Amino acid sequence: MGDLSVNSSIFSSRNGSDPPSVPPSMSIDKLLPALLECFGIILCGYVAGRTNIIPATHAKGLGSFVSKFALPALLFKNMVLLDFADVIWPFFFSILVAKVTVFFFVCVLTLLVADRESRFSKAGLFSIFATQSNDFALGFPIVEALYRNTHPEYLQYIYLVAPVSLMVLNPLGFAFCEVQRRRTGEPQQQSKLQVLGLVLLQVVKNPIVFMVVIGVISHFLLGQKIPAFMEEFVDGLANSFGGAALFYLGLTMVGQLKKLTRSTVVALILLITAKLLVMPLICRGMVEVLDCGSRSSMNHTSLSNYAFLYGVFPTAPSVAIYASHYNMELEVVTSGMVIGTFLSAPIMYVSAWLLTIPWMDSDPLASALQHVSFNISIISLFALVWSVAVMLLSRKFHRIPHIFTINLFVAQLLACVGMIAWNFMAEQDNFLGQVLTFTLLYGSLYSTYIWPGESFEFVFEKSLNITCSETSDSTPLNTTCQQCTSTSCLLVEEEQKVADRQNTDIQSTRHVLVCLLLTVSLLANLSSCLWWLFNKDPGRLYLELQFFCVVANFGQGLISFAFFGLDKHLIISPFKKRLVSLWQGWGQEVTGSAASEEIRLTCTQFLTYHKEQCVRDIAHKKRCGQSSTTEAFLGSDMVRWLQSVGLASDSGEALAYGWRLLEGGVIQHITLEHGFQDEALHYPTSHIPDGKGVTGNPAHLS
């Protein structure tokens, strides 16, 4: 971990020579605006889906337009205009070999370690996940920002490389999924020849593949020019792709992380590592090997850097569609798509910035590394102070495994303090002060990799034998529910047990994730030491690894804050209740009688036409006390029922419908502590009014 005693020698070869001063081949100053543009549009789509401005059913229509009209038109246009004379074919084949290598590596590894019941579906979908990049919606704007002014010919490789996954690798993954269908005994058993024909038919029917083939044929028939009568039409469809695709990507992210469970965490981390770390390294390595006869060393270096950045592009959202189609591994694929997309942004920016650094002098590099360490330590320090305060105020610190977690927080905090102190102490002629600061810094830093081991050991043992009685906030319940005469409602206790079980699973998942991420950081530091020890000339990748180690070592507080800094009961729930209260008050002021009329119509419709059927279908008698019962239904059952009878097209509309019933006084939670939610919460039927009107006294959250 030689990133603290910063000196210029680590950035030059051991014979003392510095890299040559050559101008960079990419416009790094335009990358940040491009990233902000892309992820800003993605965020707009996410907000639109999260607030149900655009329901999931409408999002499917936008997705169909993007994938079946806009993208095929874009591919057709660029395949016709493509100049094959400028293509450096060794680069193309390097990316092809890299994708095939990663595909088969993931496939074989999955077949070896996955359980026999689902190993073929996992092998197929995981291999597609690791190789199919979001080339057009997210990758193209990034490449355009970086290379438009320096290497505009690089843009056409996007259209050449992308069909490789669609026409060569994806069919292999689909074949594995079809094999899994046959092994699980699904109806309509088919022969191997029929399975092969079905897979090939799916490839041919894909509009993207079809238009690529048509575009290549038209390229030679039309003389590399689109006819004037159809040029405006093709341009109109092609130009609509960029914003619509990014907006749709944001829509598809809504609710995906809820599907993440403890059992899928390890597979998810390995897949993201394969896609965002292994793929770019192999892409760059293949270019270094296969493009050795490039026209110039400068162009060769530029191509290898471009290959590395291409490999960082996140997984395309279409992979989630494949998982949904086969109804296999949906939790891993959808969660991985969301996490990988947002992780790719800082990786792309930092990688592009670092790839321009080798042409700088060694002294500024040493200073840059020191400044990065100092700045990330300050940010991490604030995050850790917040996380420790949350842990203390929530009173979790005295329970296992949180007792290990708060020790980890303290060690991380001291490491940040040590780095900040070293930034000032290194310039002073104070040997004792430097020794003490160095001891504090390294002692704290190394301890951050010891405490997660204790936490992980406990979480692993507990995951083998989880009991519902052991809970991160349970307190004795002594409440009288609306329809119960007992002083301790059994239905409320049942809700608490379900919530505690979910909370236990979430806490275990968080601890496992933190341990695995810190393990990756530890391995990176070990690799850095071994790299410097055994390589006479470490090279540029060592420089990138050094910056990664700095961010990983002193940015641990950001990881801790992300997983433990926003306590549900202490921060999120009170903030959410306050926000809902303000939103309802503002909505009533703005919409006035219109909102009240919508609530009245919804409640009247439900009471007149659907109440009796709803009670028959989903309400059940349950014991709520030692000698008392009540008839109630679950909020999750109500959401599914509203969709099944056509009152809502998706879960978002069902939640909105249920909230209108709640505000109209038709339904209410058994203790009035919750609104209408798609969870295992009880809503008694005895509160539903008889007759065809509304009570006129909307139920409000306490």
CATH number reported for the structural domain that contains residue 181 in this entry: 1.20.1530.20
- Rounded average pLDDT over 610-631: 82
Residue 471 is assigned to a structural domain of this protein: no
Reduced 3-state DSSP string for 415-438: HHHHHHHHHHHCCCCCHHHHHHHH
- Say what the pLDDT of residue 130 is: 92
Are residues 148 and 258 located together in one domain of the fold? yes
Assigned token pair, 447 = 């301890």
Contacts of 362 by beta carbon, 8 Å cutoff, 6+ apart: 8, 9, 11, 12, 18
pLDDT digits (tens, 9 = 90+) for 381-392: 998 998 888 888
pLDDT bin (cut points 50, 70, 90) of residue 627 is low
Are residues 138 and 263 located together in one domain of the fold? yes
Q: Over 90: is that where the pLDDT of 99 sits?
A: yes
Which of residues 469 and 311 earns the better pLDDT score?
Answer: 311
Among 525, 509, 517, residue whose Cα is nearest residue 446: 525
Are residues 326 and 214 located together in one domain of the fold? yes
Are residues 175 and 89 located together in one domain of the fold? yes
Are residues 425 and 521 located together in one domain of the fold? yes
Residues 197, 198, 202: CA angle, nearest 5 degrees: 115
pLDDT digits (tens, 9 = 90+) for 170-205: 888 888 888 887 777 655 556 767 777 777 777 777
Are residues 374 and 240 located together in one domain of the fold? no
Are residues 421 and 325 located together in one domain of the fold? no
Residue 508 is assigned to a structural domain of this protein: yes
The identity of residue 553, as a single letter, is N
- Say what the pLDDT of residue 485 is: 42
Write out the E strands in 42-118: none
Block residue for tokens 């926003």: 566
**CA–CA separation, 647 vs 439, rounded Å?**
66
DSSP 255: T
Are residues 408 and 276 located together in one domain of the fold? no
Q: What rounded mean pLDDT belongs to the chain? A: 78
Among 356, 384, 413, the domain boundary falls at: 356
Are residues 570 and 613 located together in one domain of the fold? no
Q: Over 60: is that where the pLDDT of 409 sits?
A: yes
- Rounded average pLDDT over 134-159: 87
Are residues 434 and 326 located together in one domain of the fold? no
**CA–CA separation, 458 vs 460, rounded Å?**
5
How many Cβ atoms are within 10 Å of 281's Cβ, its own excluded?
14
Assigned token pair, 567 = 């306590």
pLDDT bin (cut points 50, 70, 90) of residue 588 is low
| Whether the Cβ atoms of residue 533 and residue 501 lie closer than 8 Å to each other | no
Among 355, 354, 362, 357, residue whose Cα is nearest residue 11: 362
Among 580, 604, 628, the domain boundary falls at: 580
- Say what the pLDDT of residue 480 is: 40
Q: What total of structural domains would you count in the chain?
A: 3
How many Cβ atoms are within 10 Å of 452's Cβ, its own excluded?
25
Contacts of 691 by beta carbon, 8 Å cutoff, 6+ apart: 607
Domain enclosing residue 343, as ranges: 34-356
Are β-strands 620-623 and 682-684 bridged in parallel, bridged antiparallel, or unpaired?
unpaired
* Four-point Cα dihedral 563, 566, 570, 575, nearest 10: -150
Residue 11 is assigned to a structural domain of this protein: no
Among 417, 472, 423, 413, residue whose Cα is nearest residue 447: 413
**CA–CA separation, 27 vs 148, rounded Å?**
8
pLDDT bin (cut points 50, 70, 90) of residue 127 is very high
- Rounded average pLDDT over 251-279: 79
Residue 27 is assigned to a structural domain of this protein: no
Which of residues 435 and 259 earns the better pLDDT score?
Answer: 435
Which of residues 683 and 471 earns the better pLDDT score?
Answer: 683
Among 328, 356, 384, the domain boundary falls at: 356
Assigned token pair, 12 = 């030059």
Are residues 435 and 523 located together in one domain of the fold? yes
Assigned token pair, 54 = 């655009």
The pTM assigned to this predicted structure is: 0.68
Residue 236 is assigned to a structural domain of this protein: yes
Q: What is the CATH number of the domain that holds 554?
A: 1.20.1070.10
Residue 301 is assigned to a structural domain of this protein: yes
